[in-house]
Amino acid sequence: MSGIDYAKQHADRFVTDLVDLLKIPSISTRPEHHPDVERAALWLRDHMHRIGLEPTIFRAEGRLPLVYGEWFGAGPDAPTVLIYCHYDVQPAVLEDGWLSEPFAPTFRDGRIYARGAVDSKCHVIIQLAAVEALLAADAPAVNIKLLFEGEEESGSGHIFRFVREHAELLKCDVCVVSDGSMPDENQPILDYGLRGLSPSLELHVTGPKRDLHSGHFGGSTHNPIHALVHMLSQLHDEAGRVAVPGFYDDVTPLSAEERAVLAPIGPWIEAEWREVAGAPQPWGDPDYQLHERVMVRPTLEFNGIYGGYTGIGVKTVLPSTASAKITCRLVAHQDPTRVYELLKAHIARITPPTVTSELRVLEAGAPAVVIDRNTPAMRAVHAAYREGWGVEPIFSRMGGSVPVVAVFQKTLNAQFVLMPFGYKGGGAHSTNEYAVIDMLHKGIATMLHFFRGLPTTA
Amino acid sequence: MSGIDYAKQHADRFVTDLVDLLKIPSISTRPEHHPDVERAALWLRDHMHRIGLEPTIFRAEGRLPLVYGEWFGAGPDAPTVLIYCHYDVQPAVLEDGWLSEPFAPTFRDGRIYARGAVDSKCHVIIQLAAVEALLAADAPAVNIKLLFEGEEESGSGHIFRFVREHAELLKCDVCVVSDGSMPDENQPILDYGLRGLSPSLELHVTGPKRDLHSGHFGGSTHNPIHALVHMLSQLHDEAGRVAVPGFYDDVTPLSAEERAVLAPIGPWIEAEWREVAGAPQPWGDPDYQLHERVMVRPTLEFNGIYGGYTGIGVKTVLPSTASAKITCRLVAHQDPTRVYELLKAHIARITPPTVTSELRVLEAGAPAVVIDRNTPAMRAVHAAYREGWGVEPIFSRMGGSVPVVAVFQKTLNAQFVLMPFGYKGGGAHSTNEYAVIDMLHKGIATMLHFFRGLPTTA
């Protein structure tokens, strides 16, 4: 019996496993649910043990558990695959507009509705089921390491340091991050890039030393909101390009070849834009198509702005300060720290002498990731999705950032691949989240094809 | 015995009257203090009655009382003086940083410390004391009408309509608004202008139909904060002049003569700017001096701005909306409604096609007021301050707006004067507010000189 056959035989039980895991409200952002996160970690450890892995729970002071499991039966000469997923979820309550209790998994129309179904417990179960089938029925030619994080939704506070401090434990030939989604249930995609993120910044502009009466001082005193908007308006040009000198210096140009590679995903991204964003019209760098703008081009975004009176009604104040929150999405080979320094220098240059400004770093950034489309591992992923879905996968790059990927890339000397099995319409972080049951089974099969397709020496 | 002698004899009792009134926490902005506002109104009515006026309390549904008193003993041919003050106060509690209980008046260094001391109960007592002395000891050549408002600090919701509906009751030859302050205890000023206020506006900019993930949509979707700051940055030119087409069309140019009239107040306003505003450097229209900018030039001010995530830390959101609160200070002969329409048309012109914008009116505006410096009433005010203080008063114009003044001007066919007796350093709306006792007595004497100095037929 092959792993594929084993998976077919145990298909219903894999769904039951997913139901069991979905029943645990492992909400990492809510301290009152941390015992549930702990319960989920124990469930995963026991499950790993049952399917033949050697499990360990890693804890750190004030952090939620990382669950790790390994199997070395393929021997020291076989390649090792490290697979990352996260098992924590966003908050959810029925009152938010759910049709069924978010932690009482419910079947409707071939879907399983529950918080965490698509983000990201379907991935956890796919990986556990695939490894179970691999060990039980195939002749495994790869060693396996699974690493499941319990605080991805609350900032991944632990894993960066954990990866750096456990490089030997996590040593592998191929590293798989299994999270994310496809634009269509029937159309697998092959993400080979992620945008990075600059340090998260807050720009504070201070004018007068206290809030002033706009009658007594209006006209003689530079309003810091006025100064701030004038400064912020100088960070982009008329066409929407970032106008910070040097910002694009390290941006890799989009080659004609890559433009062609990405062309097929374009219509999916445009349809999604109309459905989800639905602004009066698209916007952005006129030299790039919509999907290219979010995949291969960097941004400078204002995530928040505040100053003066922001309550109901009117207060004729001329405020003392105004502030904006700023992050940049980066593409290879932009360095987050250099981008911060360029912006800092530009802000200093454009701060008028009538106010003072300060650019504070709130959180560290992460570099962008681009994966070579022609590694043996990427070719194996490509073939595995084709087998699993019966459809040629199309290439894509994620506009978002998964900071842990950059840490894996930097720390582990391995081939790196992204393997998403969710559906984009599945309501991650939203109400009535669901996983498509058919995609669960296709995902398990895809992983088994992937394990088989990897070169025996990586 | 003259009124001046009477006032000297009763000087201590006038201070006691002020103490009594200051003990009543007539905070109009706090519903729980509305019974205290009512108590203050009854105190004023009884006091008016005691000094020989015919008092009436005017009430309206949901509004705080207006206290009115009149005396017609000078006969139908004598001029009638209407005097306006307000008796309500801003909130205050010891914990804000007061050295003594804000409603337990305390004497220190020739000052009386209490909430409302300078804003504006000293004016109420000055007017009551002057009228008492006038009626008791002078041969009054003027008829008197006093109108004390109880909700100036909470938006003057009642008085506009009241004035329009009681034009006959309030009919007068000279209308005195007694409120405000001088830059120095020893330097009386003669305000002959007030800036107006445009309608209070809120500009809403909407981009995508919901908050978006800045990774998935950043670069393809115009961030409404970005659009808003770009629009707001087009409302002024580089020198700080308002860049709304037509904005200055109805602004009266500053004549060489008026420039000379206002020159003496310049150093006071500059000193106040350094002390109170204390920004890195002054700002504004380079064609005007600092004091001219706040007195004779209009402004367009951003009173508040908000959009996206404004809490602690970071959220990489690309928000759906961003908003700004806007008011303009106006000078004669700018029409508030026309200014709103000019701004609305300009906003429509500069709204990019990638977002929508809406300019909402939150509150009505009020036109600016300029008073002829050469009316008999103004000459009487000038002479009265010179007598009362022993110092030549200097001319000034207020940068702020007192909307009720425009209503008086529009409704009553009378000469109009402003008579402030506060000290600018007296902490109006702030902690440890105080009135200078010596200024109270000088104010009473000034009013008596004013009553005498008015032409017997106005």
Tell me: the pLDDT tens digits for A254-294? 999 999 999 999 999 999 999 989 999 999 999 999 999 99
Taking the C-alpha atoms of A39, A45, A47 and A52 in order, what is their torsion angle to the nearest 10 degrees?
Answer: -170
Under an 8 A CB cutoff, do B327 and A214 touch?
Answer: yes
Cα-to-chain-centroid distance, residue A83? 15
User: Among all residues of chain A, which has the CA nearest to that of B235?
Assistant: A226
Under an 8 A CB cutoff, do B220 and A317 touch?
Answer: no
- Per-residue pLDDT, averaged over B66-84, amounts to 96
Q: Which of A45-49, A442-446, B243-247, B402-406 is predicted with the least confidence, judged by mean pLDDT?
A: B402-406
Q: Please report residues of B whose CB lies closer than 8 A to that of A422.
A: none
Q: In this complex, is the C-beta atom of A351 within 8 Å of any C-beta atom belonging to chain B?
A: no
The pLDDT, as a whole number, for residue B157 is: 76
- A81 contacts A452 by C-beta, under 8 angstroms: no
User: Among all residues of chain A, which has the CA nearest to that of B228?
Assistant: A229
* CA-to-CA separations, B440 to B83, B120, B121, in angstroms, rounded: 17, 12, 10
Q: In this complex, is the C-beta atom of A228 within 8 Å of any C-beta atom belonging to chain B?
A: yes
Cα B446 from Cα B133, distance rounded (Å): 12
Name the residue with tokens 């069924």.
Answer: A100
B297-343 per-position pLDDT tens digit: 999 999 999 999 999 888 889 999 999 999 999 998 999 999 999 99
**Per-residue pLDDT for A12 more than 80?**
yes
CB interface of B with A, residues 374-433, below 8 Å: 398-401
User: Among all residues of chain B, which has the CA nearest to that of A368?
Assistant: B215
- A302 contacts B223 by C-beta, under 8 angstroms: yes
Q: Give the pair of three-digit tokens for residue A224.
A: 């810091």
> How, if at all, do strands A299-308 and A321-330 pair?
antiparallel
Cα A224 from Cα B250, distance rounded (Å): 28
Q: Please report residues of B whose CB lies closer than 8 A to that of A237.
A: none
**Per-residue pLDDT for B458 more than 70?**
no
Give B76's pLDDT tier (boundaries 50, 70, 90): very high
- Per-residue pLDDT, averaged over B126-141, amounts to 95
Q: Please report residues of B whose CB lies closer than 8 A to that of A399.
A: 215-219
Cα A269 from Cα B215, distance rounded (Å): 13
Model pTM score: 0.90
User: Among all residues of chain A, which has the CA nearest to that of B310?
Assistant: A304
Under an 8 A CB cutoff, do B279 and A308 touch?
Answer: no
Q: Please count the residue pairs, one from chain A and one from chain B, whose beta carbons lie less than 8 angstroms apart.
A: 283
Give A315's pLDDT tier (boundaries 50, 70, 90): confident
Q: Which domains does chain A have, with CATH numbers?
A: 3-195+368-453 (3.40.630.10), 197-251+298-363 (3.30.70.360), 253-294 (no CATH)
The pLDDT, as a whole number, for residue B62 is: 86
φ and ψ of B378, to 5 deg: -65, -40
The pLDDT, as a whole number, for residue A61 is: 87
Average pLDDT over chain B, rounded to whole?
A: 95
Under an 8 A CB cutoff, do A327 and B316 touch?
Answer: yes
The pLDDT, as a whole number, for residue A139 is: 84
Chain A nearest-CA distance from B331, in A, is 11
**Per-residue pLDDT for A425 more than 90?**
no
The pLDDT, as a whole number, for residue A285 is: 95
A124 vs A61: which has the higher pLDDT:
A124
- Per-residue pLDDT, averaged over A293-313, amounts to 96
Q: Helices A437-453 & A376-389, crossing angle to 10 degrees?
A: 140
Pick A277's closest partner by Cβ from B217, B269, B325: B217
CB interface of A with B, residues 121-180, below 8 Å: none
**Per-residue pLDDT for B138 more than 90?**
no
For Cα atoms B388, B394, B395, give the angle at the middle one, nearest 5 degrees. Answer: 120
φ and ψ of B242, to 5 deg: -70, 130
Cα-to-chain-centroid distance, residue A188? 18
φ and ψ of A104, to 5 deg: -120, 85
Pick A214's closest partner by Cβ from B279, B301, B316: B301
A116-141 per-position pLDDT tens digit: 999 999 999 999 999 999 999 988 99
- Per-residue pLDDT, averaged over A325-342, amounts to 96
Cα A339 from Cα A330, distance rounded (Å): 9
Cα A47 from Cα A62, distance rounded (Å): 25
- B249 contacts A311 by C-beta, under 8 angstroms: no
**Per-residue pLDDT for B428 more than 70?**
yes
Average pLDDT over chain A, rounded to whole?
A: 95
Chain B nearest-CA distance from A394, in A, is 18
Pick B216's closest partner by Cβ from A298, A317, A399: A399
Q: Give the pair of three-digit tokens for residue A446.
A: 């895809």
pLDDT > 90: what percent of chain A? 88
Q: Please report residues of A whose CB lies closer than 8 A to that of B207.
A: 279-280
Under an 8 A CB cutoff, do A303 and B316 touch?
Answer: yes
User: Among all residues of chain A, which has the CA nearest to that of B286?
Assistant: A220
CB interface of B with A, residues 306-345, below 8 Å: 306-310, 313-319, 322, 324-325, 327, 329
Q: What is the ipTM score, two decimals?
A: 0.91
Q: Please report residues of A whose CB lies closer than 8 A to that of B119.
A: none
Alpha helices for A396-436 (secondary structure H): 403-411
**Per-residue pLDDT for B17 more than 60?**
yes
Give A457's pLDDT tier (boundaries 50, 70, 90): low
B28-65 per-position pLDDT tens digit: 989 999 999 999 999 999 999 999 999 999 999 889 99
Chain B nearest-CA distance from A304, in A, is 4
Give A458's pLDDT tier (boundaries 50, 70, 90): very low
DSSP assignment string, B54-107 = EEEEE--TT-PPEEEEEE-TT-TTS-EEEEEEE--B----GGGT-SS-TTS-EE
Under an 8 A CB cutoff, do A305 and B308 touch?
Answer: yes
The pLDDT, as a whole number, for residue B457 is: 62
User: Among all residues of chain B, which has the CA nearest to that of A235?
Assistant: B226
For Cα atoms A266, A267, A271, give the angle at the middle one, nearest 5 degrees. Answer: 120
Q: Please report residues of A whose CB lies closer than 8 A to that of B310.
A: 304-306, 310, 325
A350-399 per-position pLDDT tens digit: 999 999 999 999 988 999 999 999 999 999 999 999 999 999 999 999 99
Chain A nearest-CA distance from B241, in A, is 9
Q: Please report residues of A whose CB lies closer than 8 A to that of B223.
A: 301-302
Alpha helices for A287-326 (secondary structure H): 290-295
pLDDT > 70: what percent of chain A? 100
- B110 contacts B103 by C-beta, under 8 angstroms: no
Alpha helices for A302-436 (secondary structure H): 336-350, 376-389, 403-411
Q: Please report residues of B whose CB lies closer than 8 A to that of A216.
A: 294, 399-400
